[in-house]
Structure 1
Amino acid sequence: MPYPSRVFGLPKTHVLTLHQSTNPLDLEFVVWCLAFFLGMPLTTTEAGFLDAAPTKPGKLVDFGLTRPGDEGDAIGLALGFLNAEPGDSRAPKRVAAVIHALFLSQYPQSLPFEGFQYFYMALDGCFQLISAKGGIERPRSHGERIQWMCAMFDMPVPDWARHATSVALGCSEQRLPRGALLWRAAWILDLWWQSAGSRSWQHAAPDAGVSQPALGRNPW
């Protein structure tokens, strides 16, 4: 196995069965989605963790499941997505890639630019998911993408993500918006990393179930 000092596994802790599907890819997709809603990485593989994994739910997202049965609702949403995209084999893979990149972006020992690269991959993956639908006019520059995605879902646009026109900036519309977006996002991530030391993670250490980082060696 490549990079044995970085890729590690943990004992299986749960069993998940999908009675309406025999496709193992469907099961993997549901586990990825459940990991997102729980805010911690889950895996069906023997060694599905890279570098570190948080030891408590809710560490990788800014929301939480609070009601009994919310996990079942999350699984239902994942299955609903699969049913809505029966002919698009790339869509579930893109969702999993977005979740994976988002989780990797929050590794507390990464340098700010390393975390930002994964974070930007997650944002770009979301953009590809939406724009792949077709029949939708795509934004012409990277600086417009976040604002465009927020508009698609009727969400408020963060001030730092608002696309500035060439008139307001007094320079090229195709170049500065992306640079301004990168600089602002990197600044926000840098502030986030400074406060990440209090997070509880488990470091990499040398059944068809799901592994959850609960017990292991070398926590930090």
Structure 2
Amino acid sequence: MHHITTTSLPATARQTSSQPTSSQLHPDLKFALKCYVHSWIQQQAAPRDPSLSRFSFDTYRLVRGLERHGFRRGQAVSLMRTINALLVDATLTIRSEMLTKTELENQSYKMRSELHELRSELSLLRQNDTSTLKSLSEQLMVDIESLTQKFNESATTLKTEINLDMNNRKAEARETASDADMQIQEIHHKLILKLADLKTHIEATKMKTTRTVVWWAIGSFAIIMGLDWVLPTAAL
């Protein structure tokens, strides 16, 4: 059990007024006191040496601190007693909420029992899952072998069909090539005939053009000669 100890004040600090109640305190002061108590409880709840079984509360230090902040000695002592009462009440509240050793042992035993039961259930589930997985694996292997056999058969059939189709395509290609060669030869023969006709036509056109040019030149020369003969005669 933890206890609260107080440090006694000097003789000069024992001139106190009556302890004020919480209803007589200013709201801001009540809030400051609650903050101080909360901070003190958190400090005391921190991990510490197990050999220490008492909470320490230096009343003299608190009174001096309040005096440094403008409180009179009587006010400071009254506030110290109020804080002491609040701390005692908070400590009793914490103790009432703490589990006893028997309760802790019962909770620990219950937890160990539940953990053991959970471990057993997990082991059973693991065994069941292992058996199920083994059965599924065997069935999966059978399905894989069946699918592999079907795939090989399908691949063989497809390969045969592809080879047959390729042979047919090659035969059709050879026939198409022969027809194409014949068509090319026919087109080549027609082109030769067309070129011969075109060459003959060009030669005929060339001869006709040559005759036209010659006759045009002769006519022009005759006209020029006639003009040369007529013009001098007209001048005389």
Superposition TM-score, scaled by structure 2 size: 0.18
Compare the two structures and name the one with the higher helix fraction: 2
Which structure exhibits the higher relative contact order, with contacts defined as CA atoms closer than 8 Å and separated by 6 or more residues?
A: 1
